[in-house]
Amino acid sequence: MYIVYSLADPVSKAIADALRESFGFEEGGQFNGMRLFKCEKANLLELEETHLHADFLDELHTDLIIILSRHSSAKGVPSFTVHPMGNWNEEAKLGGKPKQLAVAAPIGMLNCLAAMKNRNKTQVPVTYEATHHGPLLMTPAFYAEIGGDERTKTSKEAARFLAESVFESLDIEAPYKKIAFGIGGLHYEDRFAKRALEGEYAFGHMISKHHVENVDMLQQAMERSLPRPDVAVIDWKSIAAQEREAVIKKLDELGMDYVKI
């Protein structure tokens, strides 16, 4: 598997520096001219440009890609997050392609979320974010991010925390009963994260209430996940009645069971 960072993102680089310092990554060759570091459990790839447009990462031909990044929050709220990639509508301002989802990695994301939760001794929340932005990858992949104000994002302690959590996640198998994709909620999918950390679901794609009118995208959310979901989990009260009806009609067409939370 590969962990990917970008020199264009100082937070991403700081997390990668912490990985190299703590886990014995040594420089070992290149991939398409980009520096590659290796240890027994993982490869660490250095990008010069932003990771948002790195669709070429599919050329790594691997089973999982974890992208290290900062998370920009309008309110500067500190957070540690994981999320899948993709664009629910016709906009693709931050990489990917309009109305295209990357392949989600529900088990890898859950393992990383659980490792973050296990290590977290602070009041900074650990949560999922809904699916958003690029790159568009057909390799199972997800982002692991530090969010908040500049003090949080540039903290060496935060970078070390995320590095250790990501590396720990490679060795754990967090419990879950079913693979799911999430419908509804806000951009920070706290209710889905709670159910995941309680051992109920491993979530792949999550479409927040802000994009839930795009019911034509639910088939992609179901198909572009490895493993594929067993069930759709709907944050029921977050969605208007008319939108719920459209969602349920589409799920019935797709033959996908759903549960309400």
Task: Look up the domain containing 255 and give its range.
Answer: 2-260
How many separate domains does the chain show? Answer: 1
Specify whether the CB–CB gap between 27 and 169 falls below 8 A.
no
For residue 98, the domain's CATH number is 3.40.630.50
pLDDT given at position 148:
76
Written as one string, the DSSP assignment of the chain is: -EEEEETT-HHHHHHHHHHHHHH--EEEEEETTEEEEE-SS-EEEEESS-GGG-GGGGGG--S-EEEEEEE--TT---EEEEE--B-SSS--TTSS-TT-BPPB-HHHHHHHHHHHHHH--SS--EEEB-S------SS-EEEEEEESSHHHHT-HHHHHHHHHHHHHHTT-----SEEEEEESS-SB-HHHHHHHHTTSEEEEEEE-GGGTT-GGGHHHHHHSBSSPPSEEEE-GGGS-HHHHHHHHHHHHHHT--EEE-
Give yes or no for residue 207 having a pLDDT over 70: yes
pLDDT given at position 153:
67
Give yes or no for residue 76 having a pLDDT over 80: no
pLDDT given at position 221:
97
What integer is the mean pLDDT of 201-212? Answer: 97
What integer is the mean pLDDT of 80-96? Answer: 96
| pLDDT tens for each residue of 119-148 | 998 888 999 999 999 999 999 999 999 987
What integer is the mean pLDDT of 5-10? Answer: 96
Those residues whose C-beta lies under 8 Å from the C-beta of residue 164, and which sit 6 or more positions away, are 18, 22, 119
| pLDDT tens for each residue of 226-251 | 999 999 999 999 999 999 999 999 99
Pairing of strands 141-147, 65-71: parallel
SS3 annotation, 74-141: CCCCCEEEEECCECCCCCCCCCCCCCCECCECHHHHHHHHHHHHHHCCCCCCEEEECCCCCCCCCCCE
pLDDT given at position 73:
67
pLDDT-based confidence at residue 77 (cuts at 50, 70, 90): confident
Give yes or no for residue 74 having a pLDDT over 70: no
Spatial separation of the C-alpha atoms in residues 70 and 153, rounded to whole Å? 7
Spatial separation of the C-alpha atoms in residues 27 and 82, rounded to whole Å? 27
